[in-house]
Structure 1
Amino acid sequence: MAVQVEIWTDINCPFCYLGKARFEEALQAFPHRDSVEVVHRSFELDPTLPHDHSDAVVPHIAEKYGISEEQAAANERGIGAQAEAMGLTYQIEGRDFGSSFDMHRLLHFALAQGRQEAMLNALYAANFAEDAPLFGDAERLVRVAVGAGFDEAGVRAVLDDSTAYAEAVRADEAEAAALGARGVPFFVIDRKYGVSGAQPSEVFEQALRQAWTDRAPVLQTVAEGDVCGPDGCALPERN
């Protein structure tokens, strides 16, 4: 049986972008990687945002954390440096943020087709690696999804029907709350081990190894008797 890794993320979250890359680095080094099943789950950092909301990231961070815009911009540069160290492109200026609900619905649409990874990678690239605004623009979402190889008519059908995959998104969010997730990224391995945050790849690799070991318990011998082996059979005792 495969080891299952569930990853709760939000497209707005830069540490989810970094965490995914670090986890994938650990997975590549894991000797049983072909027996690992990865499923991405939905988590909205702010589920109260209006459907068409889009605003600049830096002023938002400054207001949310009570810091200056200069400090917020410095934080973005720091995250950008971490991304660069991972070989990731990160736009430190001009990014927007907004409601990610439709993006999560598209991720479930992609999951139903067995191509969730392709959709997530495309959304992360559109938000963090490209300089065009992403949020609050349905046509931009369509272009991103189609560029990742998804059928345009299918993508538009999902976006035009606000109920499509909505229950799946809400179920993921309720499950995250039940598991005690207060932020993302949040990694759950076999519903037994939790890893919170964009940890170093070594942490993810250690968690994978532990989960794999636990799937193959050590046999404990509770009784021993006469046996036959390569060297012959045990001789019965003589009275």
Structure 2
Amino acid sequence: MRVEIWSDIACPWCYIGKARFEKGLADFAHRDEVEVVHRSFELDPARAKGDTGSVVDMLAQKYGRTREEALAMEEHVASNARAEGLGYRTEGRDHGSTFDIHRLLHLARARGRQNELLDRAYRANFAEERSVYDPSVLLALAVEAGLDEAEARAVLADESAYADEVRADERQAAEFGATGVPFFVFDRRYGVSGGQPADLFTKALEQAWQGRTPAPVGAPDAPACDTDGSCEVPAN
């Protein structure tokens, strides 16, 4: 069985949702027979390379909040991340174009190191003081994930490398009707949206394995990030 996960490194609910999905997968009896493929989805595809800014300032401007209120929003998301055992910094993070990250993730998939690179990129972006929008950091993460340094450097230098693969993933997401991430597709039969609880992912895996055609799985208000750059913050 194949599970495809559309996500963006800039999305905190993708970071949290990946951890929850993996916990749900660990409780699935046939977990060793599940292939997980991570697909590209840019929350801000029009953003220029090199155009970066503070996440907290962006949230304050976007939602018309004070900086203190924006920090409180970040802290609320951080509490969800920490509940899953994930590190999360509420200050000092930036945001920008994720196109190069997605291109490197396609290289990593071709070399069998996609999950390793994705984990390192999430950790760098949300838990560490390392900007994933810095090419030198991206190259270091690729090497840490087990990729060849010269090959990764060549991909970063050639903006056409794996660009078609990124765009193909994004077109497929649009065809499925996905407007936000994370978005999970089970054997191309049905999807689960948002950072759902781990037990719901276990249930979805079981239903897909049994070959049933279930009703849509998951609450419609599950937290996610959408294409206008908004990342939902649950009330409590």
Normalising by the smaller structure, the TM-score range is 0.7 to 0.9
Aligned match of 1:130: 128
Match of 2:159 among 159, 162, 167: 162
Match of 2:39 among 17, 41, 45: 41
**Could you report, residue by residue, the CA deviation over 1:14-33 in whole angstroms, capped at 9, with x for unpaired residues?**
00000000000000000000
Aligned match of 1:232: none
| Distance (Å, rounded) in 1 between the aligned partners of 2:39 and 2:9 | 11
Percent of aligned pairs sharing the same letter:
57
Aligned match of 2:91: 93
How far 1:139 sits from its partner (Å)? 1.0
Aligned match of 1:182: 179
| Distance (Å, rounded) in 1 between the aligned partners of 2:71 and 2:41 | 25
How far 1:132 sits from its partner (Å)? 2.7
1:87-236 counterparts in 2 under 5 A? Answer: 87-135=85-133, 137-214=134-211
| Distance (Å, rounded) in 1 between the aligned partners of 2:137 and 2:36 | 27
Between structure 1 and structure 2, the one with the greater Rg is 1
Q: Report if aligned partners of 1:43, 1:172 keep a CA contact under 8 Å in 2.
A: yes
Aligned match of 1:30: 28
How far 1:66 sits from its partner (Å)? 2.4
Secondary structure in 1 matching 2:180 = coil
**Could you report, residue by residue, the CA deviation over 1:19-67 in whole angstroms, capped at 9, with x for unpaired residues?**
0000000000000001111000000000011111211000101112222
How far 1:81 sits from its partner (Å)? 0.9
How far 1:141 sits from its partner (Å)? 0.9
Matched residue count: 212
Q: Report if aligned partners of 1:7, 1:39 keep a CA contact under 8 Å in 2.
A: yes
Q: For structure 1, which runs of at least 5 residues remain unmatched after alignment? A: 216-239
| Distance (Å, rounded) in 2 between the aligned partners of 1:60 and 1:24 | 30
**Could you report, residue by residue, the CA deviation over 1:160-214 in whole angstroms, capped at 9, with x for unpaired residues?**
1110000000000011011000100000001112100000011111110000111
How far 1:68 sits from its partner (Å)? 2.2
| Distance (Å, rounded) in 2 between the aligned partners of 1:84 and 1:196 | 21
Secondary structure in 2 matching 1:158 = helix
| Distance (Å, rounded) in 1 between the aligned partners of 2:188 and 2:166 | 19
Moved over 6 A (4+): none
| Distance (Å, rounded) in 2 between the aligned partners of 1:66 and 1:168 | 36
